[in-house]
Structure 1
Amino acid sequence: MALNSPLHGVVPPVCTPLDGDGSVDTASLTRLVEHLVDGGVHGLFALGSTSEVAYLTDAQRRTALETVVRVAAGRVPVLAGAIDTTTARVVEHARAAAESGADALVATAPFYTRTHPVEIAGHFRRIRSAVDLPLFAYDIPVSVHSKLPAALVRGLAEDGTLAGLKDSSGDEGGLRRLIVELGGAAARTAAREAAGAAGSPGFSILTGAELTVDAALLAGADGVVPGIGNVDPAAYVRIYDAARAGEWALAAKEQERLVALFSLVDVGPEPDMGRSSSALGAFKAALQLLGVIACRDTAFPQVQLSDDSVEQVAERLRAAGLTPLR
């Protein structure tokens, strides 16, 4: 579905279920998309970090994205990650995503190579000019090793290059300053229309800090991209709905429940595995325990969760009021 208004609400980064042989499990992915849509989400972000995009081949990326687009069937917009090191490679992914039916693109700054803000701005402008889909910047310095400067984001928002920002920088003060500078969703849309971009989708600010969503919404963010939203999407929808209704105590209560549930990402026995292996493995283990996906495997070379760790995931699900199948 076309983005004809600023993107808002809960937009989970969709996990990519794998078969035991490492191929994309499209039957499980179909169930996962239905689980998310049934939970009331407002969009889907395929091929993001939680999707294990960095581990997938181009063919696997295409299979995963086409499955998400097909199952979503226009009920919610589908954003596609075009994540790669340099502009030329990102443009290739972006074109493939457009061919697969994505409604919008998500890209980081270039990485591995060292870039200047002028080069980063050029990177986003070239992607946007190459593929006529709304483009969202993904600010994730832990992976990209550079933080998107607020002035750069503001400039790319004002000239219509970017339709929005997914902020996973961990710099909540910086996010708050950017929200203040760009104003609320209505103000951002009005500014774009006044600049001659009438009919454009406006500019959206989405937080990736899933433990402080209530605070971000109170500050003026438009929504959240929560990894653990794969497991309990309806809870994030409840936070969003409560925030929109001004019921901040209710939003805070739901957020506190999700903070406890999020502890499942730490069940992996450090230092035997990386935190990414632990977090992504826990999300998939939870989805398997809930009967959404068939296999909890993460992509190689990530280390798999032990049976003891999976039992800890089950305990956290029960504590959060979710019922594992075993």
Structure 2
Amino acid sequence: MNRFYGTGVAMVTPFDGSGQVDYASLRKLIDHLIDGGIDYLVSLGTTGESATLNKEEKKKVWAFTAEVNNGRLPLVAGIASNNTHEVVEAIQHFETNGYDAILSASPYYNKPNQRGIYEHYKAIAEAAPLPVFLYNVPGRTGSNISSETTVKLAHDFKNIIGTKEASGNFDQFNHIMRDKPEDFLFISGDDPVTLPMIALGAVGVISVVGNALPRQFSDMIRLCLEGKFQEAQKAHFDLIEFTRLIFADGSPAGVKTALKQIGICEEKVRLPLVNVNDEVAAKIIAEVKRIVG
């Protein structure tokens, strides 16, 4: 599973001025990320605004991404829902060609208890034709996958191979790292705290920042994984303001502003998301110019 070490990028979905998927820009983004040295791609995670794409659009984006990637990097598909039956059905009908794993965010809004979360992922694990990553992001879902539930799922289902952790709870991280199976992958889902998470034992990150700054961010992650934390710390500090800004007025609107500045795609997002405000946009653009020229 070391193909999922390092920097994965939760890719944005580019839209044109009329709000349709912009496939030419998606091709540019994929090549930009690969040329930037990232380690694997995540298609239609939450950063890809998957909640606003219909089934046919998702199918086309997944197929196009696999075609353009053409086996150059490992590829992960984001497939999630707060309806367990729906996500199981989507996984059963997913065209796996070109894909290496599935990333599934925990159910949002319903606020299931830990038994419900366990049963949700049990159903996914039993249906999935590919390895599965859990995704814990309480700030968006409204519920937390506890360390006990994460570890139980990791021990009970061999095809649940890791977790993307974005709870920000280091006590929880400690318990997962202590009790998980040795080969279960602990991955940061939160760009600003990836460095200390790797110090604790995380094997990398699934990043938003990496969309715009793949070389800078993946180089920092490699230094961390090599144990060169003093060098990595310099790069980490250099990216702090950019990282703060791209989340300051909504994600992925912030990173799409940066991507427009470097000529990858338009900043268009789909409602209910809107573009970042003018003040934040100006600061993002200034940071991009400072970092990449």
Tell me the amino acid that sits aligned with residue 211 of structure 1.
P
Larger proportion of strand: 2
Tell me the amino acid that sits aligned with residue 282 of structure 1.
G
238 and 166 in structure 1: CA distance in 2 versus 1, 3 angstrom threshold: same
Q: 2-side partners of 1:171 and 1:6: how far apart?
A: 26
Shift of residue 296, structure 1, vs aligned partner: 1.1
Corresponding residue number in structure 2 for 1:20: 17
Counterpart check, 1:322 vs 2:288 = no
Corresponding residue number in structure 2 for 1:235: 216
1:302 to 270, 273, 283: 273
CA RMSD of the aligned region, Å? Answer: 1.9
> How does 1:282-293 map onto structure 2 within 5 Å?
282-293=254-265
State TM-score, norm by structure 1. 0.84
Q: Deviations over 1:283-325 (max 9, x none)?
A: 11111110112x2111112222355543332111122x213xx
Q: Secondary structure at the match of 2:72?
A: coil
Counterpart check, 1:8 vs 2:2 = no
Q: Is the 8 A contact 1:164 1:204 kept in 2?
A: yes
162 and 99 in structure 1: CA distance in 2 versus 1, 3 angstrom threshold: closer
Corresponding residue number in structure 1 for 2:182: 188
1:246 to 227, 234, 239: 227
Counterpart check, 1:169 vs 2:167 = yes
Does 169-178 or 128-137 show the bigger shift? 169-178
Q: Secondary structure at the match of 1:158?
A: helix
> Number of matched residues?
292
State TM-score, norm by structure 2. 0.93
Corresponding residue number in structure 2 for 1:272: none
2:189 to 208, 233, 247: 208
Unaligned runs of 5+ in 1: 190-202, 268-274
Does 141-150 or 111-120 show the bigger shift? 111-120
1:61 to 55, 58, 66: 58
Tell me the amino acid that sits aligned with residue 177 of structure 1.
H
Q: Deviations over 1:118-140 (max 9, x none)?
A: 22212112112112210110001
Corresponding residue number in structure 2 for 1:134: 131
Q: 2-side partners of 1:7 and 1:24: how far apart?
A: 27
Q: 2-side partners of 1:73 and 1:154: how far apart?
A: 34
Q: 2-side partners of 1:232 and 1:97: how far apart?
A: 30
Tell me the amino acid that sits aligned with residue 285 of structure 1.
T
Q: Is the 8 A contact 2:71 2:98 kept in 1?
A: no
Q: Deviations over 1:43-89 (max 9, x none)?
A: 11111121111122222222222222111111111111112111111
Corresponding residue number in structure 2 for 1:193: none
Q: 1-side partners of 2:41 and 2:93: how far apart?
A: 17
Tell me the amino acid that sits aligned with residue 286 of structure 1.
A
Unaligned runs of 5+ in 2: none
The structure having more radius of gyration, on CA atoms, is 1
Q: 1-side partners of 2:24 and 2:56: how far apart?
A: 17
Q: 1-side partners of 2:97 and 2:51: how far apart?
A: 19
Does 60-69 or 94-103 show the bigger shift? 94-103
Shift of residue 243, structure 1, vs aligned partner: 1.8
